[in-house]
Amino acid sequence: MDSNREMDPEHQVPDGVDEKTVRALGALSKALETTERARGHLYGFHQLTGTADFELGDAVRLLREAGHEEQAARVEYDIVGRNVIPGHWTFQIIEAYNDTYYRPFARVERDIVDELAGGRDHLLEARLKTIRRTHHHPDHTATPPSSS
């Protein structure tokens, strides 16, 4: 295969798949990618909130060392280990998001790509690569170099 002329078979649009379907699958994939980013932000929220809670422990210790027992006790009682929403720590929010939204979305997206495009991912992006690259330029090849 001349990698300057065509995409690898995994990224070629299967016979019978029209342009509107390729665009629809691209939109579906983009929506899932956006959900992946949102999920990443949830993990960031989870880690930052956990870090803040441990930093509060340091603040409580330092308040006590400075002789401010009442303020230390208030922070410890009211804030350290507190739920971020009623009944939930951040890990529970992530679990609920994954179970309720993310995993069902990912399954539906995968099923539809399998049904309509034979499981071939990123067809829209592959088409854009074919259109936008400079043909016959060594840094614009259609596929990675073969490893043979």
pLDDT at 140: 85
User: What is the three-state SS of 111-138?
Assistant: HHHHHHHCCCCCHHHHHHHHHHCCCCCC
3-state DSSP call for residue 88?
A: strand
- Given the structure tokens 């691209």, which residue do they identify? 26
Give the position of tokens 């854009």. Answer: 128
Confidence of residue 2 (pLDDT cuts 50, 70, 90): very low
Instruction: Find, among 111, 119, 97, the residue nearest to 45 by Cα.
Output: 97
Residue 1's pLDDT band, with cuts at 50, 70 and 90, is very low
Instruction: Name the amino acid, one letter, at 120.
Output: R
User: Which tens digit of pLDDT belongs to each residue from 22-46?
Assistant: 999 999 999 999 999 999 999 999 9
Residues 6+ apart with CB under 8 A from 45: 90, 93
What span, in angstroms and rounded, lies between the C-alpha atoms of 121 and 125? Answer: 9
d(CA 30, CA 28): 5
Does pTM top 0.75 for this prediction? yes
- The answer to whether 105 and 35 are in contact (CB under 8 A) is yes
Instruction: Name the band, by pLDDT with cuts 50, 70 and 90, for residue 141.
Output: confident
